Structures are given as structure tokens and as C-alpha cells.
Chains A and B, each alone.
Chain A
């Protein structure tokens, strides 16, 4: 039946492309989470009411975050070609997309982290200070656990955005479902290939959203 409905789909290739998309999304989400968390915490702590109040660091970090958040992703990839080449020795394959994916998404997630931290009840932070906690302890034992549902729903949204970014990265040769849909589907006018690739991307997005929502529900004891 698949032969009849999707005559041009090479299922082996489709499976490979799916794995590539999953690989790019997973690795870039992981590093985006770490870097975004660091950026968000830095923004929060150096803000005017933060414990490390520092105007200069706050302004520089905020400026970098805003600049990288504002550059359209497709342009970011092109800008990062020399950097990627230097880092990985090639601009082809799924790994080549990672630097641009992470640098494009981390500032976006960093802002979400900052907002999540700002919404924590100030009294809880004051209570921890009154117990003699260090800033590091407050980060580990108060800020992160108390904002965890927001951090998780933020990374869910970011991971979904990253699935979209991997599809764009595919156009410049990074592989994955976007690449397949563009080269095999669009350029060779094989509508069935584009359709199947699109359905697979949608499935990935739905699964990420479902997992994220499930985790948030589990974590939130409010």
C-alpha cells in the first residue's frame, strides 16, 4: 500500500533523515539548556535587585542575548560557516549544524530562564539567606527547584523551535528531514516525500510537547 500512496519515498533514507533530525535536536537542546541556564542565572543575579548586582556585566550579557536572539536563524547559519569550518573541519552533516543551532537558541532560552527565576517568590530567597545559605547553595537548592516547571516548559518550547531550525539547517546541507524534504521532495517535485517528511516532523514536535507537559505536571507541586 505504501508503494501505491508514496511511490517515491525511500523508507531507509527517510529513517536515516529522521534519526539525523532527532540527533541534531537532542544535542542542540542539551547544550542550549546548559548555556541558556548559565546566561539566565547570570542575567538574574546581576540585575539591579540581584545578589551580584553588576550593571556592566548585566548590560553586556543582555546586549549579547538580544543580538543573537534577533538575528534570523538562516542568516546565523551563514554567518557561522567559517566558525563551523574551523571547529569541525566541514560544513556538511548533522554536526555542522550544531554550533549555529546552539548559539541561535541559547540566548532565547536564557531569556526564558531569567523570566522563570524572576517569578520565584522573593520571600523564599530571603528565607534561604536568613538561614546562612551561600549564593551557590541558593542557586542549587532554591532557584533551580523552585523554577523547574517553568524551566522545563521553556526548554520544551525551545526544543520545538530547534526542530524547526534543524529543518532550515538542512537546506544548507546539514542533513535531516528538512534536507530530505527540500532536496528530494521540493527540488525533484516529489510531493509524497515532502508530505511524509512533514508528517514526521509534526510527530516529533507533538511527542516533545507531550513529554514536556507530562514532566511539568509531575514537577509542579504548587
Chain B
């Protein structure tokens, strides 16, 4: 889509401001606090991720951004408009600029692709010619040419979400809210939808707020992330920073979803047994460090043998991070010096096993 060639549009202007946002529900006499005193600032043009397990309150939180839920206390301001205090026609008008896509797509089965995309335009009162024109543009934008007359039942999950995205973009919103938008899709389709969202973010300068329980989604497209647990935001920051040094236990768990796929963790403990010779070390790379030829320098500068046992590297929006498991063998002193060199280069180094 050529998204890579377009410069990112991000500014420091706060577009969405949440102040001490709280939502309580009373269910059969029991009071449940779904969202508990959340303060957040989301900047114009960024992709902001909110991650948490189900029941963490993220779904309620995102619904307060477009007034589908009203807060018990606190305030939500989007683009200077306090969503939490307006209602009626004013709120309906504001919603056209804060649109939403959903986990289960929520398309009307009774309408074709183009009729579904046309619905928000009908709601906004656009005339027929303008609707047809805009629908054509949107179909092209999300890559659904040729499927205009299809009904949702004839589409794949990924295609359905593309219709959902086109529909959400129809009235040229400032903000796109994504409610677990890829959770019902297979990994490959998830990636194609995430690519589409990134491309839209860059090309249209659209601010995207997404909620998810998959760290993969955060890693792949978000600039900043907030981690939610039991209604509270427990950790927040640039995605790369959070990946580099997660502080809360829950954040560490989410980060390990991406850095240590289940089978790899077990593999590392087995590596010690499989390679009894030399020293096993694990290197963690973050940011620019990951792109420098540290390994080449290591091999050139020290008289040791380096055997790569396992490695992974992942790209986030802010840079790369990854880990590498090496087997170093040779003179004991040279190995110790090599490890010291890695420390000096700023590479996170951990010795797993000695011979």
C-alpha cells in the first residue's frame, strides 16, 4: 500500500483526555467497578493500545469514548468536546467523528457490502450521489473492489472487518475506536488488518485507540500502550519502553507473550543439556541496539567460537527488540571478556549455563 513511504503524522496535541474516569455497574444488588479512576492522554495521530485480560474494564472504557456508556464520574474529552456531558443530537453528531469497529464486525446481514458502507452516510444525511461516490472511494481504500454487491454471509472474516473499517471511515472521523477488532481473526488475517490500520493511520492522520488482549497487536502497530488490570491503568508508556522494561507483573506476562513463545521458554532450559560445552548466554536487544552489528564485532574482537542456538527479533513501531541465545566456547578469560564487552555495548546479557 506504500504506507512505508508516507511520513508518520503524529503531534503532541492531546486529542483525547480522560480524567479520573470511573464507571460502576450494579448487577443484582452487587456494585461492580468496571473502570476505576483512569487518567489518560491520547495524542493526535497516534495509535494507542489498551491491553488487558477480559474483565479488566477495557471494553467499558472504550465505550465511554463515544458515549455508548456514560461514566459514573470523571470526564471524557475528545477533540475539545466533553463526550461525558453532551447528549441527544449533539452526542449523535459527535459520534460521527468518533467511529468504531468491532470484534464481531456487526455488519447488517440484510445489506450488501456497499449498502453497509453507505449506512453511516445515510445517517449523516448525505445525498444519493455523494454516498455512491464516497462508497466507491472507501471500497478502493480497503481493497474490496469487485465485492460491492456481496452480502456479509458471502465474505471471509478479514473481508468483513474491511467492510467494518470502510463503514467506520465513511464520515471522515478524527478517531477510530477498535474493540478487539482482530480477536476473531486468524493470525494471517490479523496481520493484514493491522497493516490496513497502520496505513490508514499514516495516510489519513487518523488517531486510533484499540483494545486487545493480544500483545502481538500492541507490538505490531501501537505507538503507546496502557495496561489495564481490575479497572485501573497499572502501566503506561511508549511501546518499546514497556517492552524493554516492563514493571508490573501483568505487563511482564503480556510482554512474554511476544518475546517468549511457550515452546521457546521450555527450549531454553533444554539448551543447557543439549550443549554442555562452553557458556550459554542470552542477549536482549532493544531499539537501535538491535540494528547494530554487535555480534560481528564480538566475533572479530575475541578469540572465541560463537554458535547461535536460538534467536528472534520483532519489529515494533518504535524500533526492534529481540533475544538471542549463544554458545560461547574457547579460553575462559576470552569468554569473560566477551561478556564484559557485551555489557559495555549496552546489550542486556544473561548467562544461562557454564560448562
CA distance A95 to B110 in the complex (A): 37
B68 touches A131 (CB 8 A): no
Q: Does B120 contact A (CB under 8 A)?
A: yes
Cβ B124 vs Cβ A121 within 8 A: no
Nearest Cβ distance between residue A81 and chain B, in whole angstroms?
43
Give A138's nearest chain B residue, CB to CB: B123
The answer to whether B275 has its CB under 8 Å from any CB of chain A is no
Given A126, A133, A146, A221, which contacts B68 in the complex, CB threshold below 8 Å? A126
A132 near B93 with CB under 8 A, answer yes
The reply to whether B124 and A132 form a contact with Cβ atoms under 8 Å apart is yes
| Min distance, Cβ A116 to any Cβ of chain B, angstroms | 13
Are the CB atoms of A132 and B96 closer together than 8 Å? Answer: yes
Interface: A89 (CB within 8 A): no
Asked if A137 is an interface residue, CB under 8 A from chain B, the answer is yes
> In the docked arrangement, what's the CA distance between A124 and B66, Å?
16
Known: A123-B104, A129-B68, A131-B95. A146 touches B122 (CB 8 A): no
**Interfacial chain A residues near B171, Cβ < 8 Å:** 131
Interface size class of A (residues with CB under 8 A): 20 to 34
A-B contact count (CB 8 A): 65
- What residues of chain A lie closer than 8 Å to B93, measured between beta carbons? 132
A131-B95, A131-B96, A131-B119 in contact; A145/B108 too (CB < 8 A)?
Answer: yes
A132 close to B95 (CB less than 8 A): yes
Nearest to A133 among chain B residues (CB) is: B123
Convert B70-106 into 0s and 1s, putting 1 for each residue whose CB lies closer than 8 angstroms to a CB of A: 0000000000000000000001111110011010101
Binary per-residue interface labels of chain A (93-135) against chain B in the complex, 1 for a CB within 8 Å, 0 otherwise? 0000000000000000000000000000101101111111110
Q: Are B123 and A131 closer than 8 Å at their CB atoms?
A: yes
Is B68 within 8 A of A130, CB to CB? yes
With A221-B110, A221-B151 given, can you name 13 additional A-B contacts, CB distance below 8 Å?
A124-B106, A124-B108, A127-B106, A128-B123, A129-B68, A130-B99, A131-B119, A132-B91, A132-B123, A132-B124, A142-B108, A145-B111, A221-B109
A-B contact pairs, 9 of them (CB 8 A): A123-B102, A124-B108, A129-B68, A130-B68, A130-B100, A132-B93, A132-B94, A133-B92, A221-B152
List residues of A whose CB falls within 8 A of some B CB.
121, 123-124, 126-134, 137, 141-142, 145-146, 148, 219, 221-222
B residues with a Cβ closer than 8 A to A are 66, 68, 91-96, 99-100, 102, 104, 106-111, 119-120, 122-124, 151-153, 167, 171
